[in-house]
Amino acid sequence: MTAAALDFTYRYAFPSEVGQTERGFGLQLATCGAHHEQPHFFDGKLLAPREMGEMLLCLSEVVRTHFFLPRPPLMDPVVTSSDTTLRFEGFSGCCGVYARVDLPTEALACDHLSHGTTNVDFNNPMRAALARLRDNQDTRLAVGAEGVELSSGDKRVVEKKVKLPVRWIKGFSEVQLYQPSMQLKLETTGAEGRKFVRSLPRSAAPKRPSYVTRMGKGLRLSQRDSKDAVQFHGTHRVRVLEPLMTTAKSLRIWSDEETGTTAWEVLLRAGRFLLMLSPEVYRGFSGEGQALEKLAGNRWQDSLEPVQQRLHHQSRLDPAELAQEIGRPVQEVEAALAVLGARGLAGYDLNRGGYFHRQLPFDLAEVDALQPRLKAARKLLDENKVKIVAQAVSSTDQPSGQVELEVAGSGVNHLVRLREDDDRCTCPWFSKHQGQRGPCKHILAARMLTDDSENG
Amino acid sequence: MTPEELEDFIAQGNPVALVDAVSDLSEAERKKLSKHAQTIHRTLEREWWRQQESDDPLLKRILGNQRKNPMPPWKHFYTAGLALLAVGPCSQAKKARLRSAEDPGEDLVFRVLKDRRPEWADDWLASKFEEGAAGLEWDTMLRLLDDGICRKPDTDDYYRSLAQGLRSWCYQKREEGVTLSKYLVERKDLLEDTWKFFEVENDAFIYDWGVEDAEGWSTAFVKLSNEGHLDRGRLLRATLDGLTTGFKQNLLSGYAKLHERLAPSPDELAELQDTYCDLLSSHLPQTVSFAVRMIKQLDKAKRLDDARFVPASASVFHVSTKGPPKAVIGLLKKIAKRQPELVSDIGRTLLDGLRHPSEDVQAAALDLLGTLGEQLDDDVLRGIAECREDLPAMLHGTVGQILAERGAEDPATAPDPREEIQDREQQQLELKSRAEAIAEPWRSRAGVDDAFAAAEQPAWPPALPFTPLEAAPLTGLDPVLPIQDVDELLDAIAHAIEQIESTIEIERIIDGVSRLPLDELPDHERRSAPLIKRIQKIKDSDSNRGITSRWHGPTELSRLICFWLSGKPNLAKPSWSGRDNAPSPLWFIDARLEPVQGRLQRGLRQCQLDFPTHQRGWIDPREFVRRWAELESSDGEISGWEVIQGLLRLAPEGREQALEEAASLEHSFAAPLRWALGGDEGPEPASSVKQKIDLVKNKLLNKPTPEAPSPAALWLAAARSRDPNGSFPELKAAGLADSGPDAIEPAVYNWSTGVRFHKDSYSDTTYRFSELELQVQPPLDDKPTPAAHPTVLLHRNEGSWSPFGVSSPWIADWISLVWPARLEGFFATGVKCLHSRIDDASSNWEPNHIYFQPLFDPDRPITPMAAFCLALGLSGRDQDARGLAVDALVEAIHDGRAHPDQLGDVLKTMVEPYWLKLNRLCENLAEVARVSPLHAWFVHSAATRLLTAYDELPRDAHLLLALLLELHAQLGLPVSDEVAQQLKTIKGSSKTAKLAKSLREFEPAAGGTLPEAQLQLLEARIARAERWSGAQ
């Protein structure tokens, strides 16, 4: 392991393939967990094979793409099986695009279904075959195979050694935190969605932010902000949806204006495809710092363990129900779920508006402590470089939320002003991003200090 | 050998002597020398370029005789590399630079390894393969393998090196008669390795040498296959397997080309038929295109399995290019004739074609569906009806016809035309009553009556006649709020040091700095210290794009901010300034800011007289006079520079009232103000001694002056504020020596286009360059324009690397706020920039999109230069500029400012061959037309005007005709006689000729959207008149 990447070996008992199996023609996906186990999660028939093939291909395209450097990574997607949904997730090599295929069990005739999350092998011959799936052909899907074990000397065993960048794993986990604050901004029919996606530039993409805006029944790409327009960066990142649009029923666009993140949801007969874009092409989801306030605070700590104990591959986690079960406030449970999301233990389903349980099949223990801004903030506290210089009091002589702190920086002291809803710092990072990319290390340290003093 | 002896060999640059000397050393002896060899190698690699200054004794000893040679010491590098290989450990040997022209031809690397036989030789060789061609000479690698010094690695890098290295090696030996095919016949082991070329990503088949006696891999494979050295069947299959690998597109094209060069026989084609059909589902157009070509060969040989091909062919409609889908439709047509039992399947397949992005493919698919008639089943008919939304308007009639012929249900039943007419009449009545409620002159100025008159025709009404001063721009723009306190100002400065969100923010900061003393804030040092530190840290940084940037900001802005923060103006003075000092409006901006700093130094705090009250830089005249009066009453300073800037920003609204209030102003500059506001007392002939001195000074002026502007400059600003488009001969009498554009006379631009050909003698290629000659009248003086004449400076865009001498979007935008009433100079600069990059992608260093920003003001008239900017933006490759040009045009059509005749006339000036990019233009115009019926009508009219400008249609005219045909169908408009006459002259069977025929024969169907477009146009003009009238 280097500082920036973890060595990881995908080890599959056989290559994923499309072809004749014992139970008929279909797609047989090979599985591999974090500790090289090969679980068997699903066996059944596809009701719309062509669309499913297209969605998996599109997902694979995202996973194999680095959207600003010609450096294709070799990571594989992850599948989660639950009672109601089979979800395939992937993350681009540049860490700026997250994609997920949600196949509701209604679109599958299940013969065997069990719960869990695992990597799935996506190889070139299988990708080529996926594109050939047709609706008029009976097609089965198997995720894993019964009784398969790895045996040395088996020529069918597929091994792929990759370096998983830490920021890739972190981004894959933290991307879930952006979704709860997203709002549905635009929705259009499949035909109009097709026209829009096809109208995106094919060659040189704009360097400035682009906007999608309503135009009659349809959508239009614009280079200018306007009322109800949704800003996004990198038209080429949205273009990956083009093959899916041929049979799409509708296109939905979600956005969180504060973070600048967008999610593009294509609804098809076979299921849903979600494409989430980071605020800028050159910015990944990891290190964006949206999670930092939650991770830095300690309001979730009492709920974390009981919530984690109640995770058993539910396809929807209801915070209110969980709160009642463990006897803690709903907000605390929500914060705990967000933290679990950041640790790769929960995903968020935008369409259904809630978390679902899944455990990313990587060893996340090493990654958890590597959040650089959080580390830097803790270091500032450990070195006693944060001191309160003023604290406003309310009319009842109680400390108000307004605190001013001095935090030692490189050759200069930064002034942090903590407010109820608008923390500010004099450092260049904050001055530039104005909190849009999460709090700076000085604000984090200040918040940690004041939280500690509040809690005695 | 001692370390000193080793040094000597390297210092002499004598590799042969070194290799001889180390040949018999034991591993223990080598190990002793290892550390020293590493030090020498490292020192040479890292320090050689500093040999002149370095005091390193080792470097001096080795390169003593090289001290004055600026070239790298290759001989020394090579000898040091060999030394490292001979005595160093594996990790260091991997780093040794061993490929050199300095090798005396004795393959010293081979000798060193043969003598030493290190146990890490395999590992070392694998690392050299990893480096590719740069690693080691190919024949050295081969000798090492052949002599058993190293074993062949089974890695992708080895096969890549084999492809690249062996090809180059054979090329070098071609004069000795060595070719790849001959060599490989001798080397069966390597021949077997070449099968991996179809499994490992490599560039073997991308190209063949363009030299007769040199073979590339494709030629070699064809020869080897023909001569029986390679299994032909395996080779054919391997090329197809290669096409499914997911490698880069150009590599896959290499496999396809090789397959075609092998010219499979009908039997071979038939055997590979399934694979060809599978390849149709590739997402890469080149692969699909190849598969279609092979299937066509099968069809020609009468060996195509129709039942296998038809279902597989649906995949072809996934590719966005139209060639392969059209070819497949052609094949399906033939199959439908010979195999009627497959018609139902063919119909289902063609439904995918109806959703293809190309209208040509959609039309071909629909055409074939129409001929299948009776044999189509209900599912297919339902599918056709569902696809209607995907099809262009010109095909809707055919859909209706197919469904009607088969008695199928058509969900898109046309609404009752009588009801539609009634609805429209009702809407028109409502618009009329709204129009009648609008007072003059607003109704006329907004062209409302013209629009009603034109609606009777139907035709486009005349263009909106207003000038900026006849409009009410403040009604359409947001007010600008000044910064409230020092706390807010510090936050604004902190952000602007890093990043500038809007140019109005800069004006807010200048106003804040002018008004608010830093020490008003109790803990101001805590707040300002980090900012001061930051400014000092980034002052020399090239990536600094904020207000203190040496590349971008006006010098005085940076000085002003620094002075306010620290009391030291030169805090951020960079080691050198990146700014181009060619004459530009920045001269005026700098001069305008200097007095502000002077006031701060004197401890004077006052509001900024020229601070905009509204976006785009406008100032409400009433507020301007109020500020002026306040300054007079408080003994504030009235800077001539601020007066000039303020006058040029005065909005038309409220001038009368402001003039009344200005009557009591006493300052000597108040006379120009009153004249600007419409007063009667204009400039008087220069007579006073001071005015004469100013006159002489202006004439002698050869650099921008920071001193107070001359009275003539104040009168010039007043005149241009009074009437931006007017002529003011009285200014000359008042001492104005400047006769440039927008001084005494308003600027008028003319342009001509041309094409320059340049033949490259090396490649024998002729390059074409579009040329633009832009002329302004009156012309610019040869001598520099005074800083106090910003209206003239706006036309000076001679910066050597950027027209305004800056490249940040915010500076260009800021320049557009200098004189918001008239931006011809600004747009002319835009024209120059957009033309110079018309075939280039977006650039952060030349952000041309900024020239469209002012066009989003609802009261900015579309002047000729603005229209030219739009035309260039729509024809350019820069996606940022293209996108904003589309947006600006959409907006200007929506609010009624844009007129199709004007855009059409500008486009007419660009019809010179090779000038106008019709593919880009038509694509962008089609995007504009999609927005609404009004936009479609506009585009139709502008495109028609462009079409009629051509004496002879260009090769790509079909793009324009296709656009027009679609818009005629959408709007329900007949083709005019003039256009029909022009189209009659187009003969032949080209695409253009076919479309010309379709257009000539076009008959509009009922239900076109033209009436809706007319209502939208009326609505736009009425809404404008209502807004303007509401301002009073």
Q: Considering CB atoms only, which of A132, A204, A432 is closest to B281?
A: A132
Instruction: Please tell me the distance from the alpha carbon of residue A173 to that of residue A345, in angstroms, as a whole number.
Output: 8
Which site among A54, A63, A207, A419 would you substitute to test the B interface, given the most B Cβ atoms closer than 10 Å to its Cβ? A207
pLDDT digits (tens, 9 = 90+) for A241-283: 999 999 999 999 999 988 889 999 999 999 999 999 999 998 8
Q: Note whether A204 and B877 are within 8 A (CB).
A: yes
Average pLDDT of the residues of chain B: 89
Please tell me the predicted confidence (pLDDT) of residue B699: 47
CB contact under 8 A, B315 and A221: no
Instruction: Please tell me the distance from the alpha carbon of residue B833 to that of residue B829, in angstroms, as a whole number.
Output: 6
pLDDT digits (tens, 9 = 90+) for B4-16: 888 888 888 888 8
Q: Note whether B644 and B624 are within 8 A (CB).
A: no
Other Cβ atoms less than 10 A from the Cβ of B762: the count is 5
B598 Cβ contact list (under 8 Å, min separation 6): none
Residue B224 to chain A, least CA–CA distance (Å)? 28
Q: Which residue of A has its CA nearest to B856?
A: A224
Q: Which residue of B has its CA nearest to A434?
A: B495
**β-pairing verdict for A139-143 and A24-29:** parallel
**Of chain B residues 546-605, which have a CB less than 8 A from chain A?**
none
* CA angle, residues B850, B854, B860, in degrees to nearest 5: 160
How far separated are the first and last CA of chain A, in Å rounded? Answer: 40
Query: DSSP string covering B528-585, please?
Result: HHHHHHHHHHHTT-TT--STT-TTTS-HHHHHHHHHHHHS-TTTT--SS-----SS-T
Ramachandran angles phi, psi of A41, nearest 5°: -100, -30
**Helical ranges in B339-447 per DSSP H:** 343-354, 359-372, 378-386, 393-405, 417-436, 442-445
Residue B620 to chain A, least CA–CA distance (Å)? 25
A413: enclosing H helix or E strand: strand A413-418
**Of chain B residues 503-542, which have a CB less than 8 A from chain A?**
523, 526-527, 529-531, 533-534
Tell which residue, B495, B249, B598, has the closest CA to residue A433.
B495
- Per-residue confidence at B617, pLDDT binned at 50, 70, 90? very high
Q: Considering CB atoms only, which of A222, A389, A426 is closest to B530?
A: A426
Interhelix angle B343-354/B359-372, nearest 10 degrees: 150
**Structure-token pair, residue B73:** 């010491």
B503: enclosing H helix or E strand: helix B503-515
Which residue did the predictor score with more confidence, A70 or B728? B728
User: Which range, of A292-306, B956-970, B985-999, averages the lowest pLDDT?
Assistant: A292-306
CB contact under 8 A, B495 and A409: no
CB contact under 8 A, A207 and B497: no
Instruction: Please tell me the distance from the alpha carbon of residue A334 to that of residue B161, in angstroms, as a whole number.
Output: 55
Tell me, what's the ipTM? 0.86
B385-394: buried (b, 16+ CB within 10 Å) or exposed (e) per residue? Answer: bebbbbbbbb
B707-719: buried (b, 16+ CB within 10 Å) or exposed (e) per residue? Answer: eebbbbbbbbbbb
Average pLDDT of the residues in B60-70: 66
Q: DSSP character for A148?
A: -
**Structure-token pair, residue B711:** 């009275």
Please tell me the predicted confidence (pLDDT) of residue B66: 57
Q: Which residue of A has its CA nearest to B926?
A: A199
**Which position has the token pair 């094919």?**
A202
CB contact under 8 A, A414 and B530: yes
Q: Which residue of B has its CA nearest to A246?
A: B355
* B283 in contact with chain A, both atoms CB, cutoff 8 A: yes
Q: Note whether A79 and A120 are within 8 A (CB).
A: yes
Q: Report chain A residues whose CB lies below 8 A from the CB of B534.
A: 428, 431
Ramachandran angles phi, psi of B763, nearest 5°: -95, -5
- Whether residue A150 has pLDDT greater than 60: no
Residue B201 to chain A, least CA–CA distance (Å)? 13
- Whether residue A153 has pLDDT greater than 60: no
How many whole angstroms from its chain centre is CA B962? 26
Please tell me the predicted confidence (pLDDT) of residue B192: 94
Q: Report chain B residues whose CB lies below 8 A from the CB of A411.
A: 533
Residue A73 to chain B, least CA–CA distance (Å)? 13
Q: Note whether A196 and A251 are within 8 A (CB).
A: yes
Please tell me the predicted confidence (pLDDT) of residue B965: 96
Which residue did the predictor score with more confidence, A235 or B736? A235
Please tell me the predicted confidence (pLDDT) of residue B704: 40
Instruction: Please tell me the distance from the alpha carbon of residue B446 to that of residue A397, in angstroms, as a whole number.
Output: 62
- Whether residue A392 has pLDDT greater than 90: no
- Per-residue confidence at B105, pLDDT binned at 50, 70, 90? low
Q: Considering CB atoms only, which of A203, A207, A431 is closest to B497?
A: A431
Other Cβ atoms less than 10 A from the Cβ of A232: the count is 25
Partners of residue A406 on adjacent β-strands: A387, A415
Q: Considering CB atoms only, which of B314, B315, B887 is closest to A223?
A: B887
- The radius of gyration computed from the CA coordinates of chain A, to the nearest angstrom, equals 23
pLDDT digits (tens, 9 = 90+) for B214-261: 889 999 999 999 999 999 999 999 999 999 888 888 899 999 999 999
A320 Cβ contact list (under 8 Å, min separation 6): A330
Q: Report chain B residues whose CB lies below 8 A from the CB of A244.
A: none
- Whether residue B541 has pLDDT greater than 80: no
pLDDT digits (tens, 9 = 90+) for B827-858: 999 999 999 999 998 888 788 999 999 999 99
Q: Report chain B residues whose CB lies below 8 A from the CB of A402.
A: none
**Which position has the token pair 């004439």?**
B699
pLDDT digits (tens, 9 = 90+) for B301-313: 999 999 999 999 9
Average pLDDT of the residues in B502-517: 95
- Whether residue B806 has pLDDT greater than 60: no
CB contact under 8 A, B887 and A224: yes
Between chain A and chain B, how many beta carbons pairs sit less than 8 Å apart? 124
Average pLDDT of the residues of chain A: 86
- Per-residue confidence at A162, pLDDT binned at 50, 70, 90? confident
